[in-house]
Amino acid sequence: MVRVPDGDFVFGSNLGYPDERPADAKRRKMGGFWIDQTEVTNAQFEAFVQATGYVTQAEREGAAVVFHQPDAGELQRRPYAWWTYVRGANWKQAHGPAA
Range of the domain at 92: 56-99
User: What does residue 25 show for φ and ψ, rounded to 5 degrees?
Assistant: -85, 25
- The reported pLDDT for the residue numbered 27 is 84
> Is 35 part of any domain?
no
Residue 61 within any structural domain of the chain: yes
72 falls within a domain = yes
Q: What does pTM read for this prediction?
A: 0.61
Q: Is 10 domain-assigned?
A: no
Answer yes or no: is 87 within a domain.
Answer: yes
- Mean pLDDT calculated for residue range 41-59: 97
Confidence of residue 81 (pLDDT cuts 50, 70, 90): confident
Q: Is residue 81 part of a domain?
A: yes
Split at pLDDT 50, 70, 90, the class of 50 is very high
Domain count, the chain: 1
19 within domain boundaries = no
29 forms bridges with which residues in the sheet? 8
Please enumerate in sequence order all residues whose Cβ is within 8 A of that of 92, keeping only pairs 6 or more positions apart, or say none: 42
Q: Is residue 86 within 8 Å of residue 93, measured between CB atoms?
A: no
